[in-house]
Chains A and B, each alone.
Chain A
Amino acid sequence: AQSVTQLDSHVSVSEGTPVLLRCNYSSSYSPSLFWYVQHPNKGLQLLLKYTSAATLVKGINGFEAEFKKSETSFHLTKPSAHMSDAAEYFCVVRWTDKLIFGTGTRLQVFP
């Protein structure tokens, strides 16, 4: 079975500083991994996906994630946070036809 662990339930940054949201995965084979974002009172939107084509994946709104097999990690980063990045972020692994969600990381951005 597959699983993901999001290491921080809350992350706070100042506007203009880097963002790091950490995710470790457990998978018995090469996984498909995703990051989704959920803005307050909204549905989920796909940020980016890893499907083994390239280890560094670029997503929307300046986010990117690096797949590191040796560390079983898929951390989400952004060089400079914007106020509009404040949201909840979910690391997700695909298992057969289903998605397994992490528990989420709430990102706060202070002016």
Chain B
Amino acid sequence: NAGVTQTPKFRVLKTGQSMTLLCAQDMNHEYMYWYRQDPGMGLRLIHYSVGEGTTAKGEVPDGYNVSRLKKQNFLLGLESAAPSQTSVYFCASSNPTGTYNEQFFGPGTRLTVL
């Protein structure tokens, strides 16, 4: 199993450009998440999905959109990139079993917006 994979690993954008980050998981997990990590701020939840065709806003959703057309994929879109969106983006997936919800993380995408 590859686990959680993210494409691309690195990307540089100019202000105003658009792009899509792809997250894929092969563990048949129901839940998927997108986070951003900034220095000194830990990980903050952007959007998440509790199943195919459903999405919800997290803590910092502004400027991002997501889609979950297939259970194994979760896409994060930036329609008009801004320098404030320079960050490392992590995708995670989990199954809501038992009393905890262990999330498995991808390796991250480092995005720079100039």
A94: nearest residue on chain B (CB-CB)? B101
Q: Which residues of A contact B48 (CB under 8 A)?
A: 97-98
A109 to B97, alpha carbons, bound, how many Å?
Answer: 36
The reply on B45 being an interface residue by CB < 8 A is: yes
Check if B99 sits within 8 Å of A52, measured CB to CB: yes
- Identify whether the interface residues of B are mostly helix, strand, loop, or mixed: loop
The reply on A24 being an interface residue by CB < 8 A is: no
Q: How many residues of B contact A (CB 8 A)?
A: 25
Q: Which residues of chain B (22-77) have a CB below 8 Å from chain A? A: 31, 33, 40-45, 48, 50, 58
Check if A44 sits within 8 Å of B105, measured CB to CB: yes
A51 to B44, alpha carbons, bound, how many Å?
Answer: 22
A9 to B42, alpha carbons, bound, how many Å?
Answer: 11
The reply on B16 being an interface residue by CB < 8 A is: no
A49 to B97, alpha carbons, bound, how many Å?
Answer: 14
